Amino acid sequence: MRGIIRVGDTHTHGGRVESGAATSKVMGHAVARVGDTCSCLVHGTCTIVEGDPDFNVEGRAAAFDGHKTSCGAALNSSVVDSGRI
């Protein structure tokens, strides 16, 4: 299962997801989507550029484990039991 990405989840460049959906939450944390921002220890600020087009959250594709940021990092879900098969 690919876990959904939420605000606070990390990525492979050492940063974390900083923004997410206004009202859609999983286990108390906002769901991250294409266009939401991340911090990056290598590149500064980046955005999520990949998501599942079949899983729309507040008008944008939701991000899942392994999806990429604009700086090339792969997102890491902290909730591997909540996502897509």
The per-residue pLDDT for 85 is: 55
Instruction: Please report which confidence band the pLDDT of residue 83 belongs to, taking 50, 70 and 90 as the band edges.
Output: low
At a CB cut-off of 8 Å and minimum separation 6, what does 74 contact?
11, 12, 66, 67, 68
Instruction: Please report which confidence band the pLDDT of residue 1 belongs to, taking 50, 70 and 90 as the band edges.
Output: confident
Residue 42 in tokens: 């290598």
Residue 38, helix vs strand vs coil: strand
Domains and CATH numbers, the chain: 1-78 (2.60.200.60)
pLDDT tens for residues 6-61?
A: 999 999 999 999 999 999 999 999 999 999 999 999 999 999 999 999 999 999 99
Prediction pTM value:
0.94
Half-sphere exposure of 85 (CA within 13 A, CB side): 0
